[in-house]
Amino acid sequence: MADKPTFREEIAGVLHASTGNPLDVCMQCGTCSATCPVASGGFMDNSPRRIIAMINAGLKERVLKSNTYWYCASCYHCTVRCPRGIDIAELMYGLKRYTVWHAKTQEGMIGPVFSETFVKMIVRTGRSYEPVLATSYLFTLGVPEMIQEAQTATSLMLKGRLPLLPARIKRLDNFKKVLKRIIPLGDPDE
Ligand code: SF4
Ligand code: SF4
């Protein structure tokens, strides 16, 4: 019987379509962390460099509990500057996919809820609609911030920059058929 894959091998599998080099060539230089605006701002509980070290060390549970990849802004600064050619931004996407597929997302974290809301909305209508997306984080804000968000949304609607109702693309059924060929959708109306 084949050996169970290590955590690093599982993550390598998630990244099989990436053109970046494997994580074990990381030399822990810290360029990715130093260049990351989110890590530098103190928002990530583990820097990108440390996340890679933890994956290479097989610290699966600690990686799955980290907020790092959910806070990644996908700016790609780390990827273009890594001297070892590791696609760190793609790794962040891969870790999101891994935690969603394995139902390991953390309770109370906005990122997974936001992503799920976004995907369901796209599957149902073919278009993004900001007022629905906003519900995934609005109630985590304080009252003053919620009022400010509502005021901003109202003025955008009055200026015609935000539609009152969500739009649907034409030939939505065809779009859903295409999506079903690419990803396992389940029932989008659940
Ligand atoms: S920049 Fe590249 S080599 Fe340096 S720590 Fe980050 S991933 Fe590793
Ligand atoms: S892509 Fe993500 S991890 Fe990389 S520098 Fe930007 S925010 Fe940081």
Digit-coded pLDDT (tens) for 12-23: 999 988 889 999
Distances (CA, A) of 154 to 54, 136, 144, 159, 168: 45, 18, 15, 9, 22
Q: Compute the distance between CA of residue 47 and CA of residue 33 in angstroms, rounded to an integer.
A: 6
Q: For residue 52, how far is its CA from the centre of ligand 2 (angstroms)? A: 13
Mean pLDDT within 40-52: 96
Nearest bound ligand to the CA of residue 31: 1
Question: Which residue's CA is the nearest one to ligand 2's atom 2?
Answer: 72
Find out whether 35 and 81 touch, Cβ atoms under 8 Å: yes
Nearest bound ligand to the CA of residue 79: 2
Pocket test for ligand 2, best of 74, 87, 93, 96 (most atoms within 8 A of CB): 74
pLDDT computed for residue 144 by the predictor: 87
Q: Indicate yes or no: pTM above 0.85.
A: no
Pocket test for ligand 2, best of 46, 52, 55, 88 (most atoms within 8 A of CB): 88
Q: Compute the distance between CA of residue 33 and CA of residue 64 in angstroms, rounded to an integer.
A: 19
Token pair, residue 69, equals 């990849």
The residue assigned the tokens 């030939």 is: 171
Find out whether 110 and 71 touch, Cβ atoms under 8 Å: no
Question: Which residue's CA is the nearest one to ligand 2's atom 4?
Answer: 78
CB of residue 26 inside a 6 A radius of ligand 1 = yes
The whole-chain average pLDDT of the chain stands at: 89
| More confident site: 23 or 149 | 23
Angle between helices 130-138 and 143-158 (to 10 degrees): 170
Can you tell me which atom of ligand 2 is nearest the CA of 88?
Answer: 4
Which domains are present in the chain? 7-101 (1.10.1060.10), 110-182 (no CATH)
pLDDT computed for residue 184 by the predictor: 63
User: Is 44's pLDDT higher than 90?
Assistant: yes
pLDDT computed for residue 110 by the predictor: 83
pLDDT computed for residue 74 by the predictor: 96
Determine which helix (DSSP H) or strand (DSSP E) holds 114, and give its type and residue range.
helix 110-125
User: Is 187's pLDDT higher than 60?
Assistant: no
Q: How confident is the model at residue 52 (pLDDT cuts 50, 70, 90)?
A: very high
Nearest bound ligand to the CA of residue 91: 2
